[in-house]
């Protein structure tokens, strides 16, 4: 589960994005790696592009030192661009994406979209 | 769905007809075999050269170096291709993107954050390298017909050169009494195509240079939403212009795969009139100079450039002239996003 800590899912450039994530109903010892990223991606007619603004990967000791019963909190300052945009041929969207890799090869993915800027969406 | 063997048919659409894993595995095996064949050839050629020079098949020379280079290229291509395919299966999209930018060795507890500002906006250097005569910058001109003019010119040149060679052969046979009828039958339509392509090229060329050049100068770059900028248009040449318009245009561009083709689609999503000039006469030494102001809407999307998608802002100049076809010239500009001067605080 991912939860944005801002009051609204719309942020302005240079704002601080704060979010927390946790996993439930999964044995802590079965987690082999966790990736937390803040990404923008394009959707629409063209081939999808992906840009990683922030990326954090937990494995090994750093993973075992983490207590997954409490939510993990991350703060990321947001960039100037690209702003969220909904055009005719392309759409630019932002999201927080968490991936949990389990020892049996299972991959759990969760993502939480948010808006950067107010170009095509009024606050 | 029953798989069809498609020998001559062209694949269309983006739908995958097979299991993606089989495709990835096939690609990985192809590159792995490329790597192994490269290693085998390279070691055989080099080791044989040093261990048993008397029985060597390829002596040191052009052949030896050619085979060594081809084997080394196979090794590099196979290794890179294999690891790229493995990474594609074994890592997430985000992780691969980070590896591509920061390398394979990463610090696990330190989040990677880009520091270059503003990201995904085209660089300004190609727009600001030409100073203007009256205003700060002279904008680069994108003439949409340049590509077709060069293509027609190259085609006309090569086609006519080929036709000239065959004509010489045909004439030599004709003068020597050995008339080659098949060649003569082929040459007649080839000469017609050569003449028509030459005519088309010169017509396009005259149209391109007949209407004089257009320059646009701007007060400042990059453009920022909500701001106004002075603009100067100078139209050279010797002609009577019936109508001339200047527009600010925002255009989306997407590149996508359609079967085995790569296609690019463009669509104008926003256009704002800047100036509409009526009838005016231009002469040599007395160019038409028009000063105007362009205002960037406060809700304008900034310029954007990624691998397959883009948002371009352009100043479009369109003109209609007496005795000339209408023309259109495009001057790209860069619009930056609003930049807040107040720095963020990490104290919370």
Specify the CATH number for the domain of residue B319.
2.60.40.640
Q: What is the pLDDT of residue A123?
A: 39
Question: In which band, very low, low, confident or very high, does the pLDDT at B113 lie, cut at 50, 70 and 90?
Answer: very low
Retrieve residue A119's tokens.
């170009």
Inform me whether the C-beta atom of residue B255 falls under 8 Å from chain A C-beta atoms. Answer: yes
Secondary structure (H, E, C), B93-139:
HHHHHHHHHHCCCCCCCCCEECCCCCCCCCCCHHHHCCECCCCCEEC
Identify whether residues B204 and B222 lie together within a single domain: no
Mark yes or no for CB contact B338/A13 under 8 Å: yes
| Highest-scoring range by mean pLDDT, B33-37, B92-96, B337-341 | B33-37
Q: In the prediction, which pLDDT does A122 show?
A: 45
User: Does A43 or B237 have the greater pLDDT score?
Assistant: A43
pLDDT of res. B9:
62
Average of per-residue pLDDT across B216-226: 90
Is there a contact between B346 and A77 if contact means CB atoms under 8 Å apart? yes
Distance of CA B115 to the CA centre of its chain: 28
Chain A nearest CA to B82, separation (Å): 21
Same domain membership, residue B264 and residue B131: yes
Q: Tell whether B342 is covered by a domain.
A: no
Per-residue pLDDT of A39-80, as tens digits, reads 999 999 999 999 999 999 888 888 888 888 888 899 999 998
| Count of beta carbons in the 10 Å neighbourhood of residue B90 | 10
- A77 has a chain B CB within 8 A of its CB: yes
- Report pLDDT for B7: 60
B129 and B256 in a common domain = yes
The DSSP output letter for B297 is -
- Say if residue B199's pLDDT is above 90: yes
What residues of chain B lie within 8 A of the CB of A58, using their CB? 108-109
Q: Tell whether B12 is within 8 A of chain A (Cβ).
A: no
Please tell me the total number of residues recorded for chain A in this structure.
123
- Would residue B2 count as lying in a domain? no
* Boundaries of domain holding B42: 20-102
Average pLDDT, chain B: 82
The domain total for chain B is 3
Q: What pLDDT, in 10s, does the model give residues B50-104? A: 777 777 666 777 778 888 899 999 999 999 998 888 877 777 788 888 877 766 5
Tell me if chain B has a CB within 8 Å of the CB of A6. no
Residue B110 has pLDDT above 60, yes or no: no
Looking at the structure, do residues B57 and B185 belong to the same domain, yes or no?
Answer: no
Q: Looking at residue B301, what is its pLDDT?
A: 92
Together in a domain, B295 and B204: no
Q: Is the pLDDT of residue B106 over 60?
A: no
Q: What is the pLDDT of residue B253?
A: 94
Q: Find chain A residues with C-beta within 8 A of B98's C-beta.
A: 52, 55
Whether residue B48 is found in the same domain as residue B169 = no
Q: Quick check: B251 and B312 in contact, CB under 8 A?
A: yes
Q: Are residues B129 and B244 in the same domain?
A: yes
Choose the closest CB to A52 out of B97, B269, B308. B97
Instruction: Determine which of B136-150, B187-201, B243-257, B264-278 has the lowest per-residue pLDDT on average.
Output: B136-150
Report which secondary-structure segment, H or E, holds B71.
helix B62-90
Final residue belonging to a domain, choices B183, B210, B237:
B210
Q: Which residue has the higher pLDDT, B123 or A90?
A: A90
Cα–Cα dist A65/A95, whole Å = 27
Got the DSSP string for B210-277? HS--EEEEES-SSB-TT-EEEEEEEE-SSEEEEEEEEEEEEEEEEEEEETTEEEEEEEEEEEEEEEEE
Q: What's the mean pLDDT when you consider all of chain A?
A: 87
Would you call B347 an interface residue with chain A, using a CB distance cutoff of 8 Å? no
Q: Do A47 and B307 touch (CB under 8 A)?
A: yes
ipTM over 0.95: no
pLDDT band for position B345 (cuts 50, 70, 90):
very low
- pLDDT confidence of residue B254: 94
B189 and B308 share one domain: no
pLDDT at B178: 80
- The answer on B284 and B191 residing in a single domain is no
The 10s digit of each residue's pLDDT in A84-97 is 999 999 999 999 99
What is the distance between the alpha carbons of residues B164 and B170, in angstroms, rounded to a whole number? 10
In a domain, B226, yes or no: yes
How far apart CA B220 and CA B228 sit, in angstroms, is 10
Please tell me the predicted confidence (pLDDT) of residue A84: 93
B36-45, B54-63, B109-118, B339-348: which is most confident: B36-45
Q: Which residue, B289, B335, B330, is CA-closest to B139?
A: B330
Q: Is residue B237 very low, low, confident or very high in pLDDT (cuts 50, 70, 90)?
A: confident
Q: Residue B67: its pLDDT value, please?
A: 87
pLDDT, tens digit, 9 for 90 and up, residues B274-300: 999 888 888 878 888 999 999 999 889
Q: Helices in A12-123 by DSSP H: which ranges?
A: 60-64
Stretch B104-126: mean pLDDT, rounded?
Answer: 62
- Is there a domain that residue B341 lies in? no
pLDDT of residue A10: 87
Interchain pair A14, B342: CB under 8 A: yes
| CA torsion, ordered B271, B272, B275, B277, to nearest 10 deg | 40
| Banded model confidence at residue B228, pLDDT cuts 50, 70, 90 | very high
- Domain ranges within chain A, ordered by starting residue: 2-116
At B142 the pLDDT is 80
List the single range of A19-23, B9-13, B318-322 with lowest mean pLDDT.
B9-13
Q: Is B104's Cβ below 8 Å from some Cβ in A?
A: no
Is the domain of B26 the same as that of B93? yes
User: How would CATH label the architecture of A2-116?
Assistant: Sandwich (2.60)
- Residue of higher predicted confidence among B165 and B45: B165
Query: In the predicted model, is pLDDT for residue B164 greater than 90?
Result: yes
Say whether both B230 and B131 belong to one domain: yes
């Amino acid at each position: 589960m991912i939860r944005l800590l801002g009051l609204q899912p719309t942020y302005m450039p240079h704002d601080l994005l704060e979010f927390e994530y946790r996993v439930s109903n999964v044995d802590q010892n079965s987690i082999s790696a966790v990736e937390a990223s803040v990404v923008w991606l394009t959707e629409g007619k063209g081939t999808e592009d992906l840009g990683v603004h922030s990326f954090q990967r937990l494995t090994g000791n750093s993973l075992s030192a983490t207590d997954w019963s409490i939510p993990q909190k991350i703060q990321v300052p947001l960039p100037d661009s690209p702003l969220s945009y909904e055009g005719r041929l392309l759409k630019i969207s932002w999201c927080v994406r968490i991936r949990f890799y389990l020892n049996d090869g299972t991959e759990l993915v969760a993502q939480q979209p948010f808006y950067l800027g107010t170009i095509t969406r009024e606050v | 769905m029953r798989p069809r063997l498609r020998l001559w048919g062209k694949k269309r659409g983006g739908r995958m007809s097979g299991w993606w894993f089989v495709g990835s595995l096939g690609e990985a095996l192809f590159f792995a075999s490329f790597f192994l064949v490269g290693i085998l050839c390279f070691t055989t050629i080099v080791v044989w050269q040093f261990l048993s020079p008397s029985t060597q098949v390829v002596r040191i020379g052009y052949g030896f170096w050619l085979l060594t280079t081809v084997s080394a290229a196979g090794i590099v291509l196979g290794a890179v291709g294999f690891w790229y395919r493995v990474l594609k299966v074994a890592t997430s999209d985000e992780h691969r993107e980070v590896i591509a930018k920061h390398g394979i060795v990463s610090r696990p507890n330190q989040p990677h954050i880009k520091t270059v500002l503003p990201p995904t906006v085209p660089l300004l250097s190609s727009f600001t390298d030409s100073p203007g005569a009256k205003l700060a910058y002279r904008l680069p001109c994108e003439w949409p017909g340049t590509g077709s003019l060069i293509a027609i010119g190259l085609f006309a040149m090569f086609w006519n050169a080929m036709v000239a060679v065959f004509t010489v052969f045909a004439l030599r046979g004709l003068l020597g009494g050995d008339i080659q009828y098949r060649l003569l039958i082929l040459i007649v339509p080839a000469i017609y195509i050569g003449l028509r392509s030459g005519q088309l090229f010169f017509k396009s060329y005259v149209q391109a240079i007949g209407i004089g050049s257009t320059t646009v100068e701007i007060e400042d770059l990059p453009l920022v939403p909500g701001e106004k900028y002075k603009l100067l248009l100078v139209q050279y040449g010797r002609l009577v212009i019936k109508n001339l318009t200047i527009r600010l245009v925002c255009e989306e561009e997407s590149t996508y795969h359609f079967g085995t083709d790569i296609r690019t689609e463009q669509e104008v999503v926003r256009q704002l009139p800047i100036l509409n000039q009526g009838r005016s006469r231009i002469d040599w030494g007395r160019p038409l100079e028009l000063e105007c102001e362009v205002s960037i809407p406060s809700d304008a999307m900034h310029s954007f450039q990624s691998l397959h998608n883009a948002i371009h802002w352009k100043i479009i100049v369109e003109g209609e002239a007496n005795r000339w076809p209408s023309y259109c010239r495009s001057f790209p500009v860069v619009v930056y996003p609003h930049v807040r001067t107040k720095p963020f605080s990490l104290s919370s």
